[in-house]
Every structure is written in C-alpha cells, then in structure tokens.
A = this chain, B = another copy of it.
Amino acid sequence: MHAYEKIRAEMLHRITRQIWPAGSNLPHEEQLAAEFGVARGTIRRAMADLVQQGLVERRRKAGTRVTARSAHSSTLTIPIVRNEIIASGAQYGYKLLAAEKGGSALDMTGDFKDAPLLHICCLHLSDGRPYQFEDRLINLDAVPDAADHDFNGMSPNEWLVEKVPYSAVRTILRAEAADSAQARYLKIRKGSPVFVIERQTRLDILPVTLVKMSHPSDLFSITTQTSLFD
C-alpha cells in the first residue's frame, strides 16, 4: 500500500466518522505533510481522490472543507444492450424493424430538423423475449456511412459506438406508459410501464444521433454501487 493510499484512507476515516465534521476546514497541506511525514505532493495526491469523490471542496486561500452533502452522486453505466444480455447469461437476439430516410416524431427538440436523417427501429431480445425497443435517428451529415450500411446484421447501437466519435452526451431516464408501438413490439399491454432511456450525442455542436430505448419494466433496472473505500 502506497503512502498516499494510507493517507487517503485515514482522511476518509476522519471524514466518515466526523472527526472532521461536514462544513469544517481541514488542516492545510503543509500541516498534513508534517503530520504524515511526507512531501506536500503526496498529500495533494491523496486529496485529489477526495475531491473527485466530492467529499471535500478546496479553494485557494480558503483551504479545504468537508462537503456538506446535499445530493447523492453515482456513476451510471449504460452498456451496449447485447453485452448486457449476454452478461446475464441469456441468449441475445436482434431484429431490424424499419430503416428509412426522413425524420420522425422522435425529434422533439428540433435539433435534427434541418439535417438529412436516417430513421431506424429495431428490437433486442433476451432468450427470445423482447428486451429493448430501439427507435433511432441518425444525422447523415455527421455519419454519411450510415446511409449505405445494412443494419440487418448489426444493431445501429453497436455500429455507432464503435465507429462514430462524439464529444457530448445527454441522457434522460424516465418511466412511461407503453404506447401502441411499444406495446406491440415489446409484447406487453398498452399502458403498462416501460423504462425509457433517451440519449442524444453530439460532436461539438453537430447532432449525431438521438435514440429512445424502451424496456419492459419487469425485465429492466439500473443498479449503481459506490464505495468510498477501495
């Protein structure tokens, strides 16, 4: 175990056990360096992790303060659906439903209004059961290759993630009552709950793709775990 890890663990202990209570200032770097018998850089290395975890806030001259927690943050990972299904031990299935040029009602914000578009609908299955209904717009200005690509063999999800760069992502999570399309494709009753992930990616200001992924509520959930100690 490295020096900075020991120091980080000790500082973590002092914070979680409120030896350094929320809102209080901790000793400054020179003092901590003296206490732990290391160089200032090593204290900074340990502190960097605490800042990243959001446990302390630092400001020049003001010093380092234990954050008064007002929210729970965690990192959310949304894997490629095929990997997710395979990881669960189930058989993955895929079916292209439609691929046509032109827009769709998906583009609520109008970000894709003036662009040449490809509209794709497909279904991902887990052991033969519909798992995700994917409804997607692709901006052909950003991804010209998509126009000629055959999405029968590989889902647009996977193809895009591998092939197309992006610099910004907006993700929305919500619950919805299934409309008739979702009900038909997911083989559930209309009005029953679906878990929806909507994601839009951009490359700088250029919109790349917008996707709405709907899941039957009994098959899908998202779990995140965070532990302050590693």
Please, how many angstroms separate the alpha-carbon atoms of A5 and B226 in the complex?
29
Q: A79's closest neighbor in chain B, by CB?
A: B71
A70/B79 contact (C-beta < 8 A), A175-B195, A220-B174 known: yes
A171/B75 contact (C-beta < 8 A), A17-B165, A177-B193, A217-B176 known: no
Give chain B residues whose Cβ lies under 8 Å from the Cβ of A215.
Answer: 175
Residues of A participating in the B interface, judged by any CB pair closer than 8 Å: 12, 15-18, 22, 48, 52, 68-80, 83, 161-162, 165-177, 191-195, 199, 203, 215, 217, 220-229
> A70–B80 contact, CB under 8 A?
yes
| A68, A79, A221 pick with most chain B CB within 10 angstroms | A221
Kindly identify which residue among B15, B77, B174 contacts A71, using a CB–CB cutoff of 8 Å: B77
Give chain B residues whose Cβ lies under 8 Å from the Cβ of A161.
Answer: 69-70, 72
Q: A70-B161, A167-B229, A175-B175 are in contact. List 17 more A-B contacts (CB 8 A).
A: A12-B167, A16-B166, A70-B80, A71-B80, A71-B83, A72-B161, A72-B199, A73-B76, A73-B78, A75-B76, A168-B226, A170-B223, A173-B221, A174-B217, A175-B176, A175-B195, A193-B193
Please, how many angstroms separate the alpha-carbon atoms of A18 and B167 in the complex?
12
Report the 9 A-B pairs with minimum CB-CB distance, sorted nearest first: A193-B193, A175-B175, A174-B221, A175-B217, A175-B195, A76-B76, A175-B193, A168-B227, A71-B79
Q: A189's closest neighbor in chain B, by CB?
A: B191
Kindly identify which residue among B71, B75, B222 contacts A78, using a CB–CB cutoff of 8 Å: B71
Cross-chain pairs A/B with CB under 8 angstroms, 14 sampled: A12-B167, A69-B162, A70-B161, A72-B77, A72-B78, A72-B161, A72-B169, A72-B199, A73-B76, A74-B75, A74-B76, A168-B229, A172-B223, A173-B223
